[in-house]
């Protein structure tokens, strides 16, 4: 099987490629503007990497050719950080919606199957105890809260694919990640405040000797899923030969790892305090946790989701998938990765 991954150097793309090369005999065709996260696999003969940009005409020709040649395409390029939804909502619309729509239309043209990353954000402020892919309503705020533009872009793409499936027999499967975490999530050294997702924001804060900031007191809850669990599920979807997943939507999250952001900060702090590298180097003496209002942290265009728990019944029943990694293990593995990262370990060596 030939798998085309656009955004192959991203958090999901890089882990997925590694797993495909390790556990299957498939070939990966990947495009990205960067290659720092795929250095371990870039020389693998079954990995065909091209440096390129999904928005540039020259690279669009390569993309079209490979959509035609491959069995399945995963369009993973998207802005996925809430601070950007608020600062640059048009950039989110252009990249997440317009560019991906072009890719989907090409897949329709060449009858290539698409496995598409939707998002848990589509459910917005849904009040269901557990969000169901086929029953839960989507509840978004007003237009002047531009945080919802990401949710809206993804929702419309989901609906467009659904419509192509309904009217033109287009083959697709949609997956909705719920706060996936792990190594390579965001670059903690280049990111600005609010510029990365919460866990990497916190790890970055600690490593830069800044306080972790709890937006609106940190009472809001999220279910965090370790990347390896998510990738196992995604690989099963891609490898579906029977066509059973065609036209289906899957939540991929871990309902058991459901904590407030305040609890997350306190667990992160505990792991750092107990960590052998931190204990032996004395590089981080005190980790503070502060409250901050959403207006100060994100600005007027922000509105939050208070809780979101996935129903993973469908992934269990159809794919036989179950998330296995608990929150503390997931946090520990992620923190280990960022502590081993060059920029921090250089500090340790110099000490």
Among 53, 210, 304, 341, binds ligand UGA (CB under 6 A): 304
Q: Does 220 bind ligand UGA (CB under 6 A)?
A: yes
Q: What are residue 241's phi and psi, to 5 degrees? A: -90, -25
Q: Which of residues 60-119 bind ligand UGA (CB under 6 A)?
A: 80, 82, 119
- Output the smallest distance, CB 331 to ligand UGA, in A: 14
Distance (Å) of CA 328 to CA 22, 31, 99, 176, 182 = 26, 33, 37, 23, 12
Among 32, 121, 158, 186, binds ligand UGA (CB under 6 A): 121
> What is the distance between the alpha carbons of residues 247 and 165, in angstroms, rounded to a whole number?
7
Q: Cα angle vertex 186, ends 205, 84, to 5°? A: 90
Q: Does 222 bind ligand UGA (CB under 6 A)?
A: yes
Binding mask 305-344 for ligand UGA (x = CB under 6 A): x---------------------------------------
Among 75, 218, 230, 301, binds ligand UGA (CB under 6 A): 218
Distance (Å) of CA 55 to CA 33, 45, 61, 347 = 10, 27, 11, 38
Q: Taking contact as CB under 6 A, which single stretch among the options 24-32, 40-48, 218-226, 240-248 is the one that binds ligand UGA? A: 218-226
Q: Does 184 bind ligand UGA (CB under 6 A)?
A: no
Among 261, 287, 315, 335, binds ligand UGA (CB under 6 A): 261
Q: Which of residues 23-62 bind ligand UGA (CB under 6 A)?
A: none
Among 41, 63, 214, 315, binds ligand UGA (CB under 6 A): 214
Among 49, 123, 178, 272, binds ligand UGA (CB under 6 A): 178
Q: What are residue 74's phi and psi, to 5 degrees? A: -115, 105
Binding site for ligand UGA (CB under 6 A): 80, 82, 119-121, 150, 177-180, 197-198, 201, 213-215, 218, 220, 222, 261, 304-305
């Amino acid at each position: 099987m030939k798998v085309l991954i656009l955004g192959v150097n991203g958090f999901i793309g890089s882990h997925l490629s590694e797993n495909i090369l390790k556990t299957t005999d498939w070939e990966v065709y990947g495009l990205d503007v960067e290659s720092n996260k795929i250095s371990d696999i870039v020389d693998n003969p079954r990995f065909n990497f091209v440096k390129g940009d999904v928005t540039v005409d020259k690279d669009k020709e390569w993309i079209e050719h490979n959509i035609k040649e491959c069995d399945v395409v995963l369009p993973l390029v998207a802005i996925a950080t809430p601070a950007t939804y608020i600062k640059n909502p048009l950039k989110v619309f252009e990249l997440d919606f317009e560019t991906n729509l072009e890719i989907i239309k090409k897949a329709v043209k060449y009858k290539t199957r698409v496995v598409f990353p939707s998002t848990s954000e589509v459910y917005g402020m849904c009040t269901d105890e557990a969000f169901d892919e086929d029953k839960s309503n989507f509840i978004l705020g007003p237009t002047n809260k531009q945080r919802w533009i990401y949710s809206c872009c993804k929702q419309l793409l989901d609906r467009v694919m659904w419509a192509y499936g309904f009217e033109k027999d287009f083959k697709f499967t949609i997956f909705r990640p719920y706060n996936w975490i792990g190594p390579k999530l965001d670059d903690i050294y280049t990111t600005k405040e609010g510029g990365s997702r919460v866990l990497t924001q916190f790890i970055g804060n600690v490593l830069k000797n800044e306080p972790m900031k709890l937006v609106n007191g940190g009472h809001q809850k999220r279910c965090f899923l370790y990347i390896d669990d998510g990738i196992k599920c995604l690989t099963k979807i891609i490898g579906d030969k029977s066509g059973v997943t065609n036209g289906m939507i899957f939540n991929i999250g871990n309902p058991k790892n459901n904590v407030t952001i305040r609890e997350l900060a306190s667990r992160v702090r505990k792991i750092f305090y107990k960590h052998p590298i931190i204990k032996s180097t004395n590089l981080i003496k005190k980790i503070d946790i502060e409250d901050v209002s959403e207006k100060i942290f994100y600005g007027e265009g922000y509105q939050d989701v208070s809780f979101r728990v996935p129903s993973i019944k469908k992934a269990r029943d159809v794919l036989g998938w179950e998330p296995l990694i608990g929150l503390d293990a997931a946090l520990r593995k992620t923190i280990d990765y960022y502590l081993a990262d060059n920029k921090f370990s250089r500090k340790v060596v110099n000490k």
